[in-house]
Chains A and B, each alone.
Chain A
Amino acid sequence: MSNAVPPSGSPDKEPATETPAARTALGTTGSAEPATTPGSPEPPRRPSLGQAFLENLWAANTFTVTLLSLFLAMVVGAVLMIVSDPEVVATYSYFTARPGDALQASWALVSDAYANMFRGAVFDPGAVGFQAAMSPISETLTYTAPLVFTGLSVALAFRGGLFNIGAQGQATMGVILAALAGFLLPLPPGLHLAVAVLAGALGGAIWGFIPGILKARTGAHEVINTIMLNYIAMYFLTWLIVQNGVQDPNRTDAISRPVDASAQLPRLFGDTLRAHSGIILAVLATWAVAWLLNRSTLGFELRAVGANPDAARTAGISVTRTYVLIMVFAGVLAGLGGSTMVLGSTATALTPLIVAQIGFDGILVALLGRVKPWGVALAALLFGALQAGGNRMQSYAGISLELGTVLQALIVIFIAAPALVKAIFQLRAARAARLQTSLAKGW
């Protein structure tokens, strides 16, 4: 009874009817946007990905649905841009008299916005010189690195049957310990960096261990505990910053001493570009998590516990021990993500908002990447690109930064509802049912 026919979607067609220009505008930028993925050198693709890509391109598979979700989100985003611009809206008041005006204005606005987003995230054709040409990529990678870690953190826990909402708190503890190690310990270069990064991992591990052991010993639900620990970590950070020895002695506002240069992650493309070696750590972490999940005995236990804890227990796997381990590993990853925030180029000192939203964005990245390590890396890259592009879109095209966030939200919504995307594009039903279940699990 459950496999009823998918609802013959009556998706809102406003985008198409209201702004045909916007739609065509998107046609071009929309097709340019996916170039983000192959355009950047970062996450090396698995050999099987290419084959799988060709095989399933036209079925309603993960990749196609993701791509089309991206496209749909951009269409809706275009509508929002037009609606929120008073000048363009004004041209619609005499739409019947001179439709050309309205269409032209809409087209100009939307194409300019998305073109700037592309220039900010991937490549700026007008750029002169190596530095300027690499700048968009550098920005994208800077935003990508922490999201890879937090995304992996959530994804790993998810595969083990746990829903780690606590990546935010784990990252916060990671930031704190990494920064403290960064400006309190007088260590030689190299060693200092390693110690600071590991301190960040340790902070996350502790913050992951607590909900893990509570879950294992008392059955306390990890969702509630991780959310609560997020608050504790956040306010601990706020308190800590203004303590003696931590606060910057030359400042009166809430900011800590800066991290020593010897503990900072080296930059990749010279000092003027922000990309730092955190992204290399992120790729290594992705590889390590992929290996752990698929090639190790620990990953076997983890996946068995995640898929069927009863059978795992009957087969002699200690479910409680595995729960603790999963949360510790998840914490380590999120903590590393936090380290890259303060040891990289985003900031050099602790501030109350230094962690931004990387933990919560990590949940989206994990779901977008279908809780598979390399998928997470690609999803983080997309989110990084949207942020970098959003910045440029704001300064050059006058579109608010929040729209980039709205786009992210729209993409996730469309991806979370594959049936909707399938209905809109009349895709051949492939294995979309599995997409849904993969997301529904863990609750």
Chain B
Amino acid sequence: MEPGEIHALLGENGAGKSTLMNVLYGLYHPDEGEILVDGRPLKLKGPSDAIAAGIGMVHQHFMLVPVFTVTENIMLGAEQVRGGIAGFLDRRRARREVTEVSERYNLRVDPDAIIEDLPVGIQQRVEIVKALTRDVDLLILDEPTAVLTPQETEELLTVMRALKAAGKSIVFITHKLGEVKAIADRITVIRRGRTVGTASPEASRDELAALMVGRSVRLTVEKQPANPGRPVLEVAGLVVDDDRQVRAVDGVDLTVHAGEVLGIAGVQGNGQTELIEAIMGLRPLLAGTVTLDGQQVDGWSTKKVLRAGVGYVPEDRSVDGVVKEFSVAENLVLDLYDRPPFGRGLALRLDEITKSARERIAQFDVRTSSAEAPVGTLSGGNQQKVIVARELSRPLKLFIAAQPTRGVDVGSIEFIHSRVIHERDIGTAVLVVSSELDEVLALADRIAVMYRGRIIGIVGPDTSREAIGLLMAGITPGTATEDGTATDGGTTAEVPGSEDEA
């Protein structure tokens, strides 16, 4: 690492990027080898040694206390104390320090805001400020963009450039190729715990992807034109509230035909989540109907909807998708455990569950030490494959995939996409919701754009990225100035964040 350099670390999930960085940050101890800082070998006993050596880290999952203010979180672990032995916290000095650092690097944060009230992007900024107040020279960002919206990603990239200009070095861990190309000075690719190559940002996406996965990867999904059949899912006049009783879906009409992929594009938080949950019977409908294959299914329990032939990949894998303490085998039958052959009467047939799990693991290329390993020990991409394997292992009429490849590495994305298209080709109606525009463009045969709880337009897959971007911002072709609020989403269309993944 050179001073003032942004060094990107690329690799699939489970390649060892995070482990390497945790060693650097002193959380893990190396079995062999050494770390050199300014030419001197460094022995790290813990994160405090790493901070003393000028290494700071922003974890993928933030280490912040939600009910504390920004200042309190930043001073945590390095509390300023005055009043001698009585040890009063010197909040004022800490606050001044926060303000100073955030101004120096142009990282706007309100020192008095409560963390849990802040959006994810700002929380991340707080983490960065926290590291900077410790006077670090080397900042490690572990998959910083995985949780960010496209706008937030763009802001982060700006911050990184500012930090670089101030002479800080940054290690940027990611598997999103677009970001790497946009910002990195040097790229190191890691695969299965080894450095497999370094590249310059001029390398093409395909080259980088091939290095990461170890073989050439198709970044576009190959598919035949769709043969839409009868309508399978019909949604009419759907109205749904979100958890805070705020209208989230406001009169949506949708039809998905057998053998086609309908993609729902839109900036996160425009009602996509609530729409899907309402279809699945997870959220009460205030008005409207949901019809599956001619049968009205609204008001049904989730179990009944699943049994009627709907496969569902939930948006938040770790919360709704898997039970982390459960084994891979158990997670593979999470919604089938009481159906033959897995359950007979009250009894579970563990042999059948294990047998089927072995088949699924092989079929869906789930990388796990065994079928009995807890799912929580798998990488994100492999957890996602477990969910996809579970949902696709029974005959379906409708397959709903929400953010099917969020936080998933390139190799798994390719695999999951090909399974989605395969499902379409055998005549299943497929509904894909994604905030990655490229994913929607790659998979969908028709694209519905959602904005503020409504379907603002349905377009074909050949529509230009810019046109869809405008729709995502709430601007329909006829009415360019619909209302004043269109501007905040207006940047969405061009952000590089949405160009990755696919």
Contact = CB atoms under 8 A, between A and B. Distances in A.
A261 interface: no
A298 B302 contact: no
Nearest to A434: B325
Interface residues of A, number: 24
A402 interface: no
B301 interface: yes
Interface stretch (A67-75, A148-156, A312-320): A312-320
Contacts of A297: 337-338, 343, 346-348
Given A5-B46, A311-B321, A314-B320, A304 B347 contact: no
B321 A313 contact: no
Contact of B323 (A1, A296, A311): A311
Nearest to B331: A311
B348 A295 contact: yes
A154 B338 CA distance: 26
B137 interface: no
Contacts of B280: 314
A307 interface: yes
B334 interface: yes
A300 interface: yes
B36 interface: no
Contacts of B334: 304, 311-312, 315
A253 B282 CA distance: 57
Contacts, number: 77
Given A295-B350, A300-B337, A313-B302, A308 B323 contact: yes
B362 to A, nearest CB: 23
Given A304-B326, A315-B334, A315-B335, A3 B312 contact: no
Contact of B348 (A1, A3, A300): A300
Interface string A282-326: 000000000000011111110110011011111111100000000
B203 interface: no
Contacts of A313: 282, 302, 320
Interface residues of B, number: 34
A397 B444 CA distance: 82
A4 interface: yes
A4 B347 CA distance: 42
B116 to A, nearest CB: 18
Contacts of B321: 311, 314
B475 to A, nearest CB: 34
B303 A307 contact: no
A74 B304 CA distance: 56
B142 to A, nearest CB: 13
Nearest to A308: B323
B303 A318 contact: yes
Contacts of A298: 346
A303 to B, nearest CB: 7
Contacts of A311: 319-323, 334
Nearest to B349: A295
B348 A316 contact: no
A12 B162 CA distance: 53
A308 B374 CA distance: 13
Contacts of A315: 302, 306, 334-335
Interface string B290-324: 00000000000111111100001010000111111
A298 B59 CA distance: 38
B27 interface: yes
A307 B325 contact: yes
A303 B326 contact: yes
B47 interface: yes
A307 B46 contact: no
A312 B337 contact: no
Contacts of A301: 337
A292 B203 CA distance: 57
A253 B301 CA distance: 56
Given A4-B46, A310-B320, A296 B348 contact: yes
Contact of B346 (A4, A296, A308): A296
B72 interface: no
B330 interface: yes
Contacts of B63: 1
Given A311-B323, A314-B314, A3 B346 contact: no
Q: Is the interface of A mostly helix, strand, loop or mixed?
A: helix
B320 A300 contact: no
B348 A307 contact: no
B182 to A, nearest CB: 30
A315 B319 CA distance: 12
B27 A316 contact: no
A317 to B, nearest CB: 7
Interface in B326-343: 326, 330, 334-335, 337-338, 343
Interface in A1-45: 1, 3-5
Interface string A136-162: 000000000000000000000000000
Contacts of A295: 347-348, 350
Interface string A228-272: 000000000000000000000000000000000000000000000
A316 B46 CA distance: 44
B145 to A, nearest CB: 21
A295 B302 CA distance: 24
Contacts of B322: 308, 311
A307 B282 CA distance: 19
B347 A316 contact: no
B27 A296 contact: no
Q: Which of A4, A299, A308 has the most CB of B within 10 A?
A: A308
Interface in A405-420: none
A391 B455 CA distance: 76
Contacts of B348: 295-297, 299-300
B282 A314 contact: yes
Nearest to B281: A316
Nearest to B339: A297
A316 B321 CA distance: 12
B490 to A, nearest CB: 34
A244 B314 CA distance: 61
Nearest to A2: B63
A307 B326 CA distance: 8
Contacts of B326: 303-304, 307
A317 B350 contact: no
Given A4-B46, A313-B302, A317-B303, A308 B324 contact: yes
B467 to A, nearest CB: 34
Contacts of A299: 348
A318 B323 contact: no
Nearest to A441: B325
Contact of A314 (B302, B325, B338, B347): B302
A312 B323 contact: yes
Nearest to B336: A315
A295 B350 CA distance: 7
A318 B282 CA distance: 11
B463 to A, nearest CB: 32
Contacts of A5: 46
A296 B347 CA distance: 4
A316 B306 contact: yes
Interface string A351-368: 000000000000000000
Contacts of B335: 315-317
A297 B334 CA distance: 10
Contact of A318 (B301, B307, B319, B343): B301
Nearest to B345: A297
Q: Which of A3, A297, A311 has the most CB of B within 10 A?
A: A311
Q: Which of A5, A296, A298, A316 has the most CB of B within 10 A?
A: A316
6 contacts: A1-B47, A295-B347, A295-B348, A308-B322, A311-B320, A317-B335
Interface of B: 27, 46-47, 59, 63, 280, 282, 301-307, 312, 314, 319-326, 330, 334-335, 337-338, 343, 346-348, 350
Given A1-B47, A297-B338, A315-B306, 5 more contacts: A296-B348, A310-B320, A311-B321, A311-B334, A312-B334
The 6 residue pairs across chains A and B that have the minimum distance between CB atoms? A316-B303, A315-B335, A314-B320, A297-B338, A315-B334, A308-B323
